[in-house]
């Protein structure tokens, strides 16, 4: 069996977990790690041993899929570069709503032209949670689904805070209020010569936080606060046909980077089975994410 060659772009929490997930996949191999900052190459190379660490994917030879372990706001610019080379991409873009729809449309055009596949928003939310919401709505087409996150660290929100001017380090915690409402508890270490009040205001105005109740706290040590555990509790009450009061729920507690990375690696496998274009997870057959003979999988799963 020829293994799919997967390149991992970025080596933060998600990138390093993606490398581990690829190593555990019998149908894949790590083609290499791609870093945008050359200064980081020696340190990462020392950590990963024989795995090539480069700054340009062309140095890795044939690559089937690039797993983009980068901030969501970097995806719209970065993904097209790989798709234009005929390399499939997988990202964990987590800005919900219109941003996902626009990214899907933009990458779909590029992927089709270059005979490639992009799988977007392939984390656990959006991602596998999106698939669960789809299943719930298929069971009860009328009704309301509430998605409650946490308590736990949001990687997307944390990255967004760190990008705000004046922030030296930060962590953003999500606290569920119920019925899909959340508090954002943001802990920041401020750079010298910046006013905490102005930085806090900028955080609250960021699109990641604008629609939630957000509290910002100044701290001297962020590292001591970090716990990468997270979770979700989804509930739907709806109607099947004309039968009311259909209730269902889904609960998950995870180590955030590991769960996100594993979904992305599974999506990399699925990307190789799709026609050219851009896909979100609900658009892909669930069985395509799993390694193994389809008939054997169906015997076990159906």
What CATH topology corresponds to 147-230? Dihydrodipicolinate Reductase; domain 2 (3.30.360)
> What string of pLDDT tens digits covers the 302 residues of the chain?
899 999 999 999 999 999 999 999 999 999 999 999 999 999 999 999 999 999 999 999 999 999 999 999 999 999 999 999 999 999 999 998 899 999 999 999 999 999 999 999 999 999 999 999 999 999 999 999 999 999 999 999 999 999 999 999 999 999 999 999 999 999 999 999 999 999 999 999 999 999 899 999 999 999 999 999 999 999 999 999 999 999 999 999 999 999 999 999 999 999 999 999 999 999 999 999 999 999 999 999 99
The annotation status of 125 as a binding-site residue, yes or no, is yes
Q: How far is CA 257 from CA 69, 125, 184, 228, in A?
A: 10, 12, 19, 7
Cα–Cα nearest to 218, from 190, 244, 247: 190
Count CB neighbours of 101 within 10 A.
11
Check the annotation: does 245 bind a ligand.
no
**300 is an annotated ligand-binding site residue:** no
- Distance (Å, rounded) from C-alpha 117 to C-alpha 97? 21
233 assigned binding-site residue = no
CATH architecture for residues 4-124+257-297: 3-Layer(aba) Sandwich (3.40)
Q: Tell me: is residue 123 an annotated ligand-binding position.
A: yes
Domain boundaries, the chain: 4-124+257-297, 147-230
């Amino acid at each position: 069996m020829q293994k799919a060659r997967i390149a991992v772009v970025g080596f933060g929490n998600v990138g390093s977990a993606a490398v581990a997930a690829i190593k555990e996949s019998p149908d894949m191999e790590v083609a290499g790690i791609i870093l945008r900052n050359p200064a980081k190459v020696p340190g990462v190379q020392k950590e990963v041993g024989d795995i090539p660490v480069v700054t340009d994917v062309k140095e890795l030879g044939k690559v089937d899929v690039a797993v983009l372990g980068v901030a969501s706001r970097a995806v719209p610019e970065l993904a097209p570069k790989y798709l234009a080379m005929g390399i499939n991409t997988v990202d964990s873009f987590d800005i919900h709503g219109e941003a996902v729809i626009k990214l899907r449309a933009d990458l779909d055009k590029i992927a089709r032209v270059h005979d490639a596949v992009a799988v977007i928003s392939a984390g656990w939310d959006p991602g596998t949670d999106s698939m669960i919401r789809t299943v719930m709505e298929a069971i009860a087409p009328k009704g309301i689904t509430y998605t409650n996150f946490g308590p736990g660290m949001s990687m997307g929100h944390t990255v967004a805070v760190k990008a705000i001017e004046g922030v030296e380090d930060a962590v953003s915690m999500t606290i569920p209020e119920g019925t899909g409402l959340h508090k954002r508890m943001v802990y920041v270490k401020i750079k010298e010569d910046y006013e905490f009040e102005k930085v806090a205001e900028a955080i609250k105005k960021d699109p990641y936080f604008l629609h939630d109740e957000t509290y910002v706290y100044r701290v001297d040590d962020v590292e001591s606060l970090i716990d990468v555990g997270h979770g979700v509790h989804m509930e739907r009450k709806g109607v099947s046909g004309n039968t009311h009061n259909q209730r269902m729920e889904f609960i998950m507690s995870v180590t955030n980077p590991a769960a996100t990375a594993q979904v992305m690696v599974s999506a990399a496998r699925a990307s190789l089975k799709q026609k050219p274009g851009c896909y979100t997870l609900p658009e892909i057959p669930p069985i395509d994410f799993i390694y193994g003979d389809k008939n054997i999988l169906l015997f076990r799963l159906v």
